[in-house]
Amino acid sequence: MKQMEQQEPAASYPAFWPVLAAIFIGSFVGMYHVVSLNVSLPGFIRIFDTELQTVQWMMTGFTLASGIVIPISGYAMERFGCKRVFLFAIGGITISSFLCAQSWNIEALIAFRIIQGLFCGLIQPVSLALIYRSIRVEKQSFALSVWSFSTVLGTAIGPSLSGWLQSFDWHLIFLITVPVGIVAWIVGTVVLPKDLANVSARLDWPGLLLATAGSLALLLLFGNMNVWGWDSLLTWTMLVAGVGCFVLFVWQERRSDHPLLQLRLLLNPRFALSLMASLILSFGLYSVVYFMPLLLVEMKGLSPFRVGLLFLPAAGCLTVATFAAGRWYNRVGPAKLIMIGCSILVVSTYYFSRMPPETSLVAIMIWLAVRNTGTGLASTPATNASMSSVPQEWIGHASALLNWLRQVFSAMALGVCTSMFYWRMGIHQAEAGGVGEGTSQYRLAYMHSIHDVFLVSSIIVACAIPIALLLGRRMTASLTTPKESESL
295 class by beta-carbon count within 10 Å (0-12 exposed, 13-18 middle, 19+ buried) = buried
Cα Rg of the chain, angstroms: 22
The larger pLDDT score, comparing residue 358 to residue 152, is at 358
pLDDT value of position 332: 83
Residue 198, classed as helix, strand or coil, is strand
pLDDT tens column, 273-297? 888 888 888 777 767 777 777 777 7
Lowest mean pLDDT among 38-52, 186-200, 346-360, 462-476: 38-52
Most confident region among 57-71, 224-238, 348-362, 379-393 by mean pLDDT:
348-362
CA neighbor of 483 nearest in space, from 270, 302, 297: 270
Report d(CA 253, CA 246) in Å as an integer: 10
- Whether pLDDT at 3 is above 60: no
pLDDT value of position 340: 92
Q: What proportion of the chain, given as a percentage, has pLDDT over 90?
A: 11
Report d(CA 35, CA 162) in Å as an integer: 9
Most confident region among 36-40, 67-71, 390-394, 464-468 by mean pLDDT:
464-468
pLDDT band at 474 (very low <50, low <70, confident <90, very high): low
Region 49-56: mean pLDDT is 74
Concatenated DSSP letters for 143-185?
A: HHHHHHHHHHHHHHHHHHHHHHHHTT-TTHHHHTTHHHHHHHH
CB count, 10 Å around CB of 469?
A: 15
CB count, 10 Å around CB of 39?
A: 21
pLDDT tens column, 346-386? 999 999 888 888 888 888 889 988 988 888 888 888 888 88
pLDDT value of position 35: 75
**Domains with residue ranges and CATH for the chain:** 14-195 (1.20.1250.20), 205-258 (no CATH), 261-478 (1.20.1250.20)
Lowest mean pLDDT among 11-20, 134-143, 254-263: 11-20
pLDDT value of position 479: 39
Report d(CA 154, CA 180) in Å as an integer: 13
CA–chain centroid gap for 128, Å, is 12
CB count, 10 Å around CB of 8?
A: 11
How does the average pLDDT of the chain come out, rounded? 81
pLDDT band at 434 (very low <50, low <70, confident <90, very high): low
pLDDT value of position 480: 39
pLDDT value of position 486: 44
pLDDT band at 488 (very low <50, low <70, confident <90, very high): low
Region 113-135: mean pLDDT is 88
Region 465-480: mean pLDDT is 70
In our burial notation (b when 16+ CB lie closer than 10 A, e otherwise), range 51-78 reads eeeebbbbbbbbbbbbbbbbbbbbbbbb
Most confident region among 50-54, 92-96, 378-382, 385-389 by mean pLDDT:
92-96
Are residues 193 and 22 in contact, defined by beta-carbon separation less than 8 angstroms? Answer: no
- Whether pLDDT at 244 is above 50: yes
The larger pLDDT score, comparing residue 223 to residue 99, is at 99
3-state helix, strand, coil in the chain (%, to 5): 80, 0, 15
pLDDT band at 53 (very low <50, low <70, confident <90, very high): low
Are residues 154 and 143 in contact, defined by beta-carbon separation less than 8 angstroms? Answer: no
pLDDT value of position 48: 84
The larger pLDDT score, comparing residue 336 to residue 155, is at 336
pLDDT value of position 328: 86
pLDDT value of position 475: 59
pLDDT value of position 13: 58
21 class by beta-carbon count within 10 Å (0-12 exposed, 13-18 middle, 19+ buried) = middle
pLDDT band at 411 (very low <50, low <70, confident <90, very high): confident
Report d(CA 304, CA 417) in Å as an integer: 21
pLDDT band at 39 (very low <50, low <70, confident <90, very high): low
pLDDT value of position 487: 44
Region 397-425: mean pLDDT is 80
Name the phi and psi angles at 4, rounded to 5.
-110, 140
Region 189-197: mean pLDDT is 80
Q: What proportion of the chain, given as a percentage, has pLDDT over 70?
A: 88
Region 63-72: mean pLDDT is 83
- Whether pLDDT at 440 is above 80: no
Strand (E) or helix (H) holding 389 = none
Are residues 146 and 324 in contact, defined by beta-carbon separation less than 8 angstroms? Answer: no
pLDDT value of position 4: 41
